[in-house]
Chains A and B, each alone.
Chain A
Amino acid sequence: MIDNIDLSLVDWSRAQFALTAIYHWLFVPLTLGLSFILAIMETIYVRTGNEEWKRITRFWMTLFGINFAIGIATGIILEFEFGTNWSNYSWFVGDIFGAPLAIEGILAFFLESTFVAVMFFGWNKVNKKYHLASTWLVAIGANLSALWILVANAWMQHPVGMIFNPETARNEMVNFWAVLFNPVAVDKFLHTIFSGFLLASMFVLGISAWYLLRKREEQIAKKSILVASVFGLLSSLMVAYTGDESARTISKVQPVKFASMEALYDGKSNAGLIAFGILKDTDQKLGDKRVKEFAIKIQIPGLLSVLTSGDRDAYVPGLKDHISGNEKMGIISTVQKMQNGKIAMDALKAYKRARMVNDTAQISSIKGVFKEKEFNEKYFKYFGYASVNKPEDVIPDVPGSFYSFHLMVVLGFLFIIIFSVALYLLFKGTLSANRWFLWVALLSIPLPYIASELGWFLTEVGRQPWIIQDMMTVSRAVSQISTGSVITTFILFAVLFTGLLISEVSIMINQIKTGPKH
C-alpha cells in the first residue's frame, strides 16, 4: 500500500523529474516555433529575392541555433531517470513507451545531423531551394519529433491499445494506431505545438520591440514583427481552440482532474465556468481532505456544461460524485473502483503464486483471464486502485490544478490581445510611436514560458496520484534506491541546468546586442 513506501524517496524522485522536465521544456517550445518562423521568413526571401529577408532569416537562425544547441540532449536525462528512478514504471509500460521514444530518437538524430547542418553551413554551398527545403524539413521534423514524446505522455494520461502480460509483467502494444490516435495524444500534440509557435512569436515580437525602442534595425524589426504577429495571432487562436478541445477530452477521460481544474466539488446541471476565483478552506471535509470553496468568484452561468457537452442542461460531475459515485449519472464510486482493482491485483498475486510452484494449468488459466476483454474493461482498468488506501487519495491538489489552469487561460487571452494590437499598430504605422506597447511586448517574452510550464504543471499534478491513469500510482513506479543519491543528482541537475540556462541567455543577449550582420 502507499503507506509502505518511503515517501521521501517518492517525493525526491518526483522533484528531480519535475526539475529536469521543467528545464528541458524551457528549450523545446522555442525550437518548435522558431523553426517554422525561420521557414516562413526564408520562403519570403526565396520568393521575393529581397536580400533583407535573408539577413532577417539568418539573424533569427542564430538565436534558433543557440537555443537548439544548448537544449539538445537535455531530454535524454529524463530517459536516464526512467531507467534508474522509475524502473518499475519503465518495465510495466513495456514497448508502449519505448517504441515512440525510439522513433523520436531516430528522427532527431537524422534531422540534427543532416538538415540542421545544411541550414547553418549551407547558405553559400547549396542552392536556395534546397536550403529552403532543409529549413522546412527541420521545422516539420522537430515538431514530428515532439509528436512521439507527446504520444508517450498521452498514453500515461489515457492508456489505450495495449494488453497486460502477467508473464513478463509488461503492457504489450496490440494496437499501434490506437496509441498514436489516442484522443489525448491528438489534443496534446496540437495544443503543445501551437503553444510553441505562440511562444516563439512572442520571442520574435519582444526582441524586435527592443530594437524599435533602441531605434536600431527598424526595417528588420518591423518585418519580423509582421511575421511574428500574424503567426502569433493565428497560433494563439489555435491554442485557445485546441485548449478547449483538450479540456473536453479531459472531462471524459480524466474527470477527477477536470473537476479539480474547476474546483467543482458538487456536480450540477447548467454548471458555470469560473472566469476568476480565489479559493479558501472550509470546515467541510471530503474524507480527510478539506473542501475548498470560493472566497470570490466571477462565473459565466451554464458555460461549463456547454463546453463539456454542448448542452446548457448537461450534468457536470463534481469531485464528490467521483468519490461517492452517482448511480443516476452512471458514475461508479472510488470504493467500487478499489474493489475492482483489488480483483485484478488478486489475479496477479494468484499468477505469481502459481509461477512459484510451477502450476502450469493455473498459469495458463490466469494468463487467459488477463486477455479477456471483460476482465480488462471491468477490473484491470482499475488495477492501480488496489494500491489506494482511501477514496479521497485519488483527488489531486485542487488549488494547484485550479490556479495553474486559470492562469494559463488568462495568459492565453492576453496573447491574443497583444498580437492583435501589434498588427493593428503596425498597419496603422504607429508601432514605433507607441513605446508603451513596445515595452509591453518586450516584457511579455517570459509570459508564454510561464503559460507553457503551467500547462505541464496542470497535466502532471492534476493526475496525481497516478503515473499511469487508474493503473499505476507514482509510489508503485519508483525504484527502491537510496534517497540520498536522488538528492545528490537533484542538486547536480539544478547546477548543470542553471549553468546551461545562464549560458544560453548570455550568448543570446550578446547576439541580440550585436544585431543582424550587414
Chain B
Amino acid sequence: MGNISSLLNRLFRFYYDGFRNMSGWGRKVWVIILIKLFIMFAILKIFFFPDFLNKNWHTDKERSEHVLEQLTNPSDNHDR
C-alpha cells in the first residue's frame, strides 16, 4: 500500500513539476490546446455534430432499417 502511495506521489510530482516549470512556448501551446478542445467538444460536437443515427433513431434495429432504406431507395427521407 505504501509503495503504491509513494508511486502515485512520485507520478503526481513528475507531472506537477513538469507543468510548473514549463517554458513560455509550452504555456502558450497549452492555452491553445485548451481553447481548441473547448471549441471542439463543448461547441462543435454538442451544437453542430450530433450523431445523426443516434439522434434520430432509438434502437439499432431502427437505425439498420433507415440505412437499408437509404441503400435501396436513397431519395426517401430527403427533408429529414
Query: A residues touching B (Cβ–Cβ < 8 Å)?
Result: 1, 4-6, 62, 65-66, 69-70, 72-73, 76-77, 80-81, 83-85, 87-88, 90-92, 117, 120-122, 125, 166-170, 345, 348-349, 351-352, 355, 387, 475-476, 479-481, 485, 488-489, 492, 496, 500, 503, 507, 510-511
Given A169-B67, A349-B72, A476-B70, are A83 and B51 also a contact pair (CB < 8 Å)? yes
Cβ of B8 under 8 Å from chain A:
no
Name the prevailing secondary structure of the A interface residues: helix
Contact of B44 among A69, A168, A352, A492 (CB under 8 A): A492
- The answer to whether B52 touches A479, judged by C-beta atoms less than 8 angstroms apart, is yes
Which residues of B in the span 22-65 have a Cβ within 8 Å of any Cβ on A?
25-26, 28-30, 32-33, 36-37, 39-40, 44-45, 48-54, 60, 63-65
Task: Identify the 3 closest CB pairs spanning chains A and B, nearest first.
Answer: A121-B18, A4-B75, A87-B52
* Best-buried of B26, B52, B54 by chain A (most CB within 10 Å): B52
| 30 A-B pairs whose Cβ atoms sit less than 8 Å apart in the complex | A5-B75, A69-B33, A70-B32, A70-B33, A81-B49, A84-B48, A88-B67, A88-B70, A91-B64, A92-B71, A117-B15, A117-B18, A121-B14, A121-B17, A125-B14, A125-B17, A166-B68, A169-B64, A169-B65, A169-B67, A169-B71, A170-B67, A348-B68, A348-B71, A355-B65, A476-B70, A480-B77, A480-B80, A481-B80, A511-B25
Cβ of A466 to closest chain B Cβ, rounded Å: 15
Contact of B49 among A72, A73, A166, A489 (CB under 8 A): A489
Provide the bound-state CA to CA distance between A243 and B14, in Å.
44
Query: B residues touching A (Cβ–Cβ < 8 Å)?
Result: 14-15, 17-19, 25-26, 28-30, 32-33, 36-37, 39-40, 44-45, 48-54, 60, 63-65, 67-72, 74-75, 77-80
* Best-buried of A66, A91, A351, A481 by chain B (most CB within 10 Å): A91
- The answer to whether B44 touches A77, judged by C-beta atoms less than 8 angstroms apart, is yes
- The answer to whether A481 touches B68, judged by C-beta atoms less than 8 angstroms apart, is no
In the complex formed, the residue of B with least CB distance to A476 is B74
